[in-house]
Structure formats: structure tokens, C-alpha cells
Amino acid sequence: MFGIKENEISIQNITGHFGNPISMLGLEIKNKSTREFIKKLVSMIPQDQMIGLLENIEDYIQDSSLYLRFSKQHWFPGKDRYIWS
């Protein structure tokens, strides 16, 4: 979807508060791949949510890293937009 190779993604399996399994995916993007990734990601986030993200961007950046959390109920192939929280 983003032109990312599977071996570039790190997966950490953890247990949630109620014992539910959670898979955290990590990805470090550098150089020219960053621009294409951001363009694709931004195009997938609905405008009203993008405005909210930009108005509160400092809440999502820590140590020069951008942290976003996506709703798994809305993140699946075939949808043209993705909801973040």
C-alpha cells in the first residue's frame, strides 16, 4: 500500500489491559521514501481529521518522531479513507 517492504516493518506483540493481544507495528522511514509515504498517508486521512491533527501536531511528535494511532475497525483494504485516533 505504501511501497514498504515487509522486512522493513518491526512487529512487537504485547498484551492489552484486559489480556487482549495487541500487535504494534514500527517503521523507520528515511530519505526520499519519506516524502512519498507522507503524501500517500495524508491523502488517506479525511480532511476534518487532518485539520485536527495539524492543529494539535505537537501532541503527536516526540523526540523528532511522529506517533499516530489508527482505528483497526476502519483500517482495511477496499476503503478509501482511514480513521486515526
Distance CA 43, CA 46 (A): 8
Residues 1 and 38 in one domain: yes
Are residues 26 and 55 located together in one domain of the fold? Answer: no
On whether both 1 and 40 belong to a single domain, the answer is yes
CA distance 15 to 6: 23
Q: Are residues 36 and 56 in the same domain?
A: no
Task: Give residue 15's pLDDT.
Answer: 95
End-to-end CA distance of the chain: 20
31 and 50 assigned to the same domain: no
* Domain total of the chain: 2
Q: Consecutive 10-residue runs of the chain (85 residues): their mean pLDDT?
A: 78 93 84 80 84 91 84 60 50
pLDDT reported for residue 85: 46
Range of the domain at 7: 1-44
Residues 3 and 38 both lie in one domain: yes
The DSSP code sequence of 38-83 is: HHHHHHHS-HHHHHHHHHTGGGSEETTEE---B-TTT-STT-S---
